[in-house]
Amino acid sequence: MNKKNEAISLLCPPECDPDYKKLSDVTIHDLGLPFICEQITDKKAEQALFLSILSKMTDDPEVTRYRSDIFSDICNNQIMRDEMLKILDKINFLRDYGSINKKYEDSASVWDLMHRMDELKDYIHCVEAIYSSLSGADIHSEGLLNLKEYVGALYQDNGFSELQKDIKALKAAASDLKSVTVGINLNERFEADGIGLISINNKYFTRSNILGNFCERIAMKDHIKSGTDWEEDYKYHPFASNGFKKQDIFSRRGIASVPEGDMMEDIPRYMNRITDQMLSLVVKKLRNMLNKYVSVTITDITDLMPEFIYYVRFAEYIEKLSRNGMHFCKGSLALEAAKERMMRAKGIYNLKLASVVLKEQGTIVANDLDFDVQHLVYILTGANRGGKTTITQAVGLLFVLAQGGIYIPGDSFSFHPVDCIYTHFPADEDKTMDLGRLGEECKRFREIYSCCTQNSLLLLNETFSTTSFEEGYFIAKDSVKAILTKGVRTIYNTHMHKLAYDIEEINCSDREEKAVSLIVKSEGGSRSFKIEAAPPEGMSYANDIARKYGVTYEMLVSENKLSTLQPG
């Protein structure tokens, strides 16, 4: 469980220091992650956040387990999820528009600090609500249980219950404050020699109709009181604007000089300044207390908001797709098979394609695919627009989502995490001006191969297809052998059917890791979008297409004979 006063994260378990690798911008683009994030939320800041989380990968299984358990709790507790969103929205408002998260300046008045205490009271209510919401939900994940404990400890350890009482008492006293009685000592030259607070009163002073103003009082000996004892019978005598001026009294020794100007307009500023001086010790203590609570609590809670929203937005999107008949499941870690670098996927499909299909009301074709040492590198062949790139991309997305804690599109997914994903898709023309397309492909592949480890995932799409078949085949064959030697899980999507035909030659007999031919099946010349581990269909598929459009030798010759027999 989380240690006392230790900051908590919903993306990484406590006392865990994983090694993260960031997906390259090219891989992020090749996998279609920006498009997916745009489907999840229309807020640019959230899109950037989600992309940042998904693109940082680690093969630490504890991180995957921690995240996926939290996501399950959030998916299974909609009421808690909705409550937390409302609370976080309020905290977000306090953070962005309130003054509570700002450093309290030494010049802040007691009234300003009391206003900020009101905001702190609202914040405390949010902390209470978070704890209440988590306590009322059926949660099991380490992350959310830690969060509940953390919020509870935050509330207790920082004395929020006592602080609430103090705020309530102070606000009650402030609401009763109607007037302040100030005592001023004078020297022989009638200069202010000292000032002090006599009382804070819950009633306004009332103006006397019998006695004159202050000037009149000091001019009449009968009205000069003997001693300083309070008899609670003083009347209110405001300064006259054309008579004795207040700056004549408060002009020495820096007590609280009042600027020239209209008397009534200056009173609020004047009272703030003189009150701050009278209550300087109280203000200092209040300021220190607020700074303490802000630094200890607000930053910690608000830092969790983006992480929580990450899970919530994905949960909402998956529920939306599920209502339209699409299947999702929680990935399961296959730690016992770590050495085999395995993956068992049933009924999987491409999440990016699912978003498009949802809008166009189309259908999804699901597939099964496994990785293990006997099926470590797939040479994927099939017709143009038959779904090769789609399935290649889908496999990459499975690992990105599962390791991000998110349910994957499919019926089941058991896997060993990858430390990073590397893609080699066709480059844009403007990036190949200097080296030429083949040179650029070779350079990129070498860089990627150098970065790959045994725990990586490598996705190749038409790599080395920008040159002649003979040259491309020669380079591709050596590259696949090198990939097998390194032991990297790979899908190589290619039009070079000969590469798949020569699998036995590529597979070295004394090496455990093997390459396998994977095809996108055709059904009578039509695209099925179904994949199967089988020899390539290159020739048979072309024959199906030729027959469909009547361009086999027999069909063309036969049609030509018939046309010559027709009368001219």
H or E stretch covering 346: strand 343-348
User: Is 80 exceeded by the pLDDT of residue 51?
Assistant: yes
DSSP letter for 33, please. Answer: H
pLDDT (average), residues 118-129: 78
Q: Of residues 2 and 144, which shows the higher confidence score?
A: 144
Please state at what angle helix 61-76 crosses helix 78-97, rounded to 10 degrees: 100
In the chain the domains, ranked by start, together with CATH numbers, are: 24-172+285-315 (1.10.1420), 175-279 (no CATH), 327-536 (3.40.50.300), 538-568 (no CATH)
- 205 vs 216, residue with greater confidence: 205
pLDDT-derived band of residue 488, with 50, 70 and 90 as boundaries? very high
The set of residues, in sequence order, having a beta carbon less than 8 Å from that of 218 and lying 6+ positions away, is 224
Provide CB contacts within 8 A for 200, sequence distance 6+.
173, 177, 179, 180, 181
CA 161 to CA 164: how far, in whole Å? 5
Taking only the tens place, the pLDDT of each residue in 372-385 is 999 999 999 988 77
Which residue pairs from 397-402 have beta carbons closer than 8 angstroms and sit at least 24 positions apart in sequence? 397/31, 397/32, 397/36, 397/350, 397/351, 397/352, 398/331, 398/343, 398/345, 398/348, 399/57, 399/457, 400/23, 400/31, 400/33, 400/54, 400/55, 400/57, 401/54, 401/331, 401/351, 402/64, 402/68, 402/331
Give the CA radius of gyration of the chain: 38
Could you read off the pLDDT of 177-203 as tens digits, one per residue?
677 777 777 778 766 666 666 676 777
In the structure, what pLDDT confidence band is assigned to residue 258 with cuts at 50, 70 and 90?
A: very low
User: What pLDDT does 80 receive?
Assistant: 95
Q: Of 74, 82, 35, which Cα lies nearest the Cα of 54?
A: 35
Q: What is the DSSP letter of 406?
A: P
- Residue 432, pLDDT score: 41
Q: In the structure, what pLDDT confidence band is assigned to residue 271 with cuts at 50, 70 and 90?
A: low
Whether the per-residue pLDDT at 38 is higher than 80: the answer is: yes
Using N-to-C axis directions, what is the helix angle for 280-293 and 263-278, rounded to 10°? 80
Residue 522: helix, strand or coil by DSSP? strand
Question: Is the predicted pLDDT of residue 328 greater than 90, yes or no?
Answer: yes
Residue 297 has pLDDT above 50, yes or no: yes
Q: What percent of the chain has pLDDT over 90?
A: 42
Chain-wide mean pLDDT for the chain?
A: 78
pLDDT of res. 211: 42
Angle at 406 between CA 404 and CA 410, to 5 degrees: 125
d(CA 299, CA 310): 18
| Total-model pTM | 0.75
Residue 99 pLDDT level (bands cut at 50, 70, 90): low
Task: Find all residues with CB under 8 Å of 75, minimum gap 6, and list them.
Answer: 315, 318, 319, 407
pLDDT at 25: 96
DSSP letter (8 states) at residue 260: S
